[in-house]
Structure 1
Amino acid sequence: MCNDYRLEVEIASIMEDFDDLEINIETPEGIPNVEPRADIKMTDTAPIVRGVEGRRGVGELVNRRWSWPGNNRKPVYNFRSEGRGFTSHRCLILADGFYEFGEPIQPGQKRKTKYLFTLKNHRWFCIAGIWRSHPEVGEAFTMLTMEPGEDVAPYHSRQIIPLNRAQWADWLDPSVPAEEILGVLPKGSLPVTRIFPPMPEATML
C-alpha cells in the first residue's frame, strides 16, 4: 500500500485546473505554502481539498497531516474502501505521482526497488481520501484503497484510488454514493517508472 507520494506541481496551477472544472476552491486558512516535494510520507503535512457540507462544487484547500494514530498506535495512512459508504468527511489528496516498493534490491537487504506511478496525459491528479479529527494530532487524512487494477497488480496486492477529473466534484459531494465513484482506472492509465535503482536509461515499464 502507498506510504510515499509526490507533489511537485505549483498550487497556482492546481487552482486553475479546479477553476476549469467549475469547482470553487476556498482557502479558509489562507493559500497553503507548499514547496515542491518528491517524497511525502506518512505523518507529513500536505495539501488536500475537503468537501463543504451542503455546497456542491465547492472545496476547501487546507494543509493537513497524512495519517492519524490507530488503536494499535500505528499510523492509519491507508483505509480499505470496500463495503463503506463514506457519507461524510471526504477529501481529494493532491498528487502528481505515487510510489510502490517491490522486491529487495539484493537478497537480505531491506531497501526495496522503488517504482513511481503517474497519470497518463495529466501533470497531476487527485487520490480519493477521507479526513477526521483526532484528539492527539488534530485533523488528518488517509488514502482509500481497493483491489489493484491491471497497472498496479504486478507491484502490489492493494492500490490507492486515483480519480478521473470528472469524478472530483462527485467525491466532494457525500450524497453521491461511493460505489458509483470508486474504481480502478483502465489498463495503461498509470505509467510506471523504476526510480531506484535507476534504469540505465529513462524507461517506462
Structure 2
Amino acid sequence: MCNDYRLMVELASVIDEFEHLKIKIRFPEGRPNIEAREDIKITDIAPIVRSAEGARQGGELVQRRWSWPSPTKRPVYNFRSEGRDFTSNRCLIIADGFYEFTTPRDTKKKGKDKWLFRKIGDPIFAIAGIWRETHDVGRAFTMLTMEPGPDIAPYHDRQIVILDRSGWADWLDPSVSATSLIRPLPRGSLSVEQIG
C-alpha cells in the first residue's frame, strides 16, 4: 500500500491548477515554502488542502504530518474507505506521483521493485484524505484506500483513492456524499514506470 509519494511541482503551479477548477486557495498559516520532493514518506510534513469553513469553492493549503499513531503506536498512513461516509475533516493530498513496491522479478535483487505511478495528462492529482487532531502529534492526515482499479491491480491488491479533477471541490464540501466520489479511475488513466 502506498507509503511513499512525490510532489515535484512548485506551489505556484499547484495554485494555478486549483484556480483553473475555480477553487480559491487560502493560506491561514502563511504561504508555505514547499520544496520539490521525490519521496514524501510516512511521518513527513507535506501540503494538503482542507475544507475552508463557509467556502464552497475554497480550501486552505496547510502543511501537516502524514500519519497519526494508532493505539498500538503504529502509524495510520492509509485508511479504508469502504463502509464510511466521511462528513468532516476531509482533505486533498496533492501529489504528482506515488510509488508501489513489489517482490522483485530478479530473484538475485535485494529489496523490492519500485514503481512510479503518474496521472496521464495532469501535472498534479489529488488523493482523498482525512485529517485528525491527536494528542501525540497534533493535526495529521492519512490517505483513503479502496479496491484497486485496473491500472493498479497488477501491482497491489489495494490502492489510494485518486479523485477525478471534477470532484476536488465536492471532496472539500462535507455536504456532498464521500461515497459518491470514491471510485477507481478508468483503465489507462495512470502511467507506470519501474524506477528501482
Normalising by structure 1, we get a TM-score of 0.93
How many residues are paired up? 196
Distance 1:178 1:48 in 2: 17
2:89 — aligned with what?
Answer: 89
Partner residue of 2:29? Answer: 29
Gaps of 5+ in 1: 197-205
Is residue 155 of structure 1 aligned with residue 155 of structure 2?
yes
CA-to-aligned-CA distance 1:70-90 (integer Å, 9 cap, x gap): 111100000000000100000
Please state if 1:55 is matched with 2:49: no
Partner of 2:15: 15
Report the Cα distance in structure 2 between the residues aligned to 1:72 and 1:108, rounded to whole angstroms.
35
CA gap of 1:111–1:122, structure 2 versus 1, over 3 A, is same
Distance in 2, matches of 1:179 and 1:159, equals 16
Q: Secondary structure at the match of 1:185?
A: coil
2:145 corresponds in structure 1 to: 145
Deviation at 1:109, TM superposition (A): 6.1
1:165 equivalenced with 2:165 (yes/no): yes
AA paired with 1:11? L
Counting aligned pairs with the same residue, the percent is 62
Q: Structure 1 residues 45, 155: CA separation in 2 closer, same or farther (over 3 Å shift)?
A: same
Tell me the equivalent position of 1:191.
191
Shift of 1:5: 0.1
Give the drift of 1:110.
5.4
Deviations 1:126-160 (A, max 9, x none): 10000000111000000000000010000001000
Tell me which residue corresponds to 1:70: 70
TM-score where L is the length of structure 2: 0.97
Return the offset for 1:108.
7.7
Partner of 1:111: 111
Query: Which runs of 5 or more residues in structure 2 are unaligned?
Result: none
Write the letter of the residue equivalent to 1:134: T
Q: What's the CA shift string for 1:111-130, capped at 9, x where partnerless?
A: 10000000010111110000
Instruction: Output the aligned Cα RMSD.
Output: 1.2
